[in-house]
Amino acid sequence: MEFNRFRSCLFVMLLGLISSCHAYKFYVGGKDGWVLKPSENYNHWAERMRFQVNDTLYFKYNKDSNSVLVVNKDDYFSCNTKNPVQSFSDGDSVFHFSRSGPHYFISGNADNCNKGQKVIVVVMAVRHHHHHAPPTPSPAAASPVVSPSPASHPSLSPPVESPQTSTPPSTLTEPPKSPSDVEIPAPTPSKSGSVGLASSLGSALGFSVVASVVLGSLIGVL
């Protein structure tokens, strides 16, 4: 029983030690502290810092004439000191950031607040780092299909067929035949040739008759 209690206490102490190692204490106003006229405007100072959850603000001031009030946004801009969320007046005040977002602080002296003794502190949001495995790429994404470039694979256009001109049947000619295949028709006797032949035969017969008569006459005389 005692051992379990000791172990629990040790665990709490370790958690507190770890938290304190990551928390920072910011001195508002630096060496000037929480005063009416600091060497650097409080909001300019806050904009240069990076505040996180578990960090703390330390206010050093004169508790007889000043104080620190935690207020809402509307009371901050109107310097309303009548309705603070939290107030400090011990001269050494520490405020712990338990959440992220804006925090509004003003002086408990309304006149000092109207003259600029106030500050807005924005605490960064807590970020949890989760390590997620990268999504498995789909087969299409793993092996993309690369289309061939025009330079390496020129596109071939389909052959263009020349238009066929149809020849009318009347204009088609047969291939020339060889001389041996050409049939030469026999000459047909003309009518004028037959007439001439007949006249020649008639003349020859008349001459022979005349010659016979002449020869017969000569033989009778002798």
* Per-run averaged pLDDT (10 residues), the chain, 222 residues: 54 46 84 93 94 96 95 97 96 96 97 96 77 51 48 48 47 46 48 46 56 60 52
Report the pLDDT value the prediction gives residue 48, as an integer from 0 to 100: 93
Q: Is 221 helix (H, G, I), strand (E, B) or coil?
A: helix
Whether 94 is covered by a domain: the verdict is yes
Report the pLDDT value the prediction gives residue 207, as an integer from 0 to 100: 56
Of the chain, the end-to-end C-alpha distance in Å amounts to: 205
Whether 134 is covered by a domain: the verdict is no
User: Measured between alpha carbons, how far is 35 from 29 in angstroms, rounded to an integer?
Assistant: 8
User: Measured between alpha carbons, how far is 87 from 67 in angstroms, rounded to an integer?
Assistant: 8
Whether 95 is covered by a domain: the verdict is yes
Whether 52 is covered by a domain: the verdict is yes
DSSP-assigned beta bridge partners for residue 27: 58
Q: 61 lies in which domain range?
A: 24-123
Report the pLDDT value the prediction gives residue 76, as an integer from 0 to 100: 98
Residue tagged 């310097």 (tokens): 79
Is the CB of residue 60 less than 8 Å from the CB of residue 92?
yes
Whether 72 is covered by a domain: the verdict is yes
Whether 5 is covered by a domain: the verdict is no
Q: Which CATH number do you get for residue 100?
A: 2.60.40.420
Whether 89 is covered by a domain: the verdict is yes
Query: Which of 42, 97, 105 minimizes the C-alpha distance to 71?
Result: 105
User: Measured between alpha carbons, how far is 211 from 204 in angstroms, rounded to an integer?
Assistant: 11
Is the CB of residue 26 less than 8 Å from the CB of residue 55?
yes
Report the pLDDT value the prediction gives residue 126, as an integer from 0 to 100: 74
Number of domains in the chain: 1
Query: Which of 38, 54, 50, 44 minimizes the C-alpha distance to 122?
Result: 50
Query: Which of 23, 11, 18, 89 minimizes the C-alpha distance to 57?
Result: 23
Report the pLDDT value the prediction gives residue 218, as an integer from 0 to 100: 57
Report the pLDDT value the prediction gives residue 15, as an integer from 0 to 100: 46
Whether 149 is covered by a domain: the verdict is no
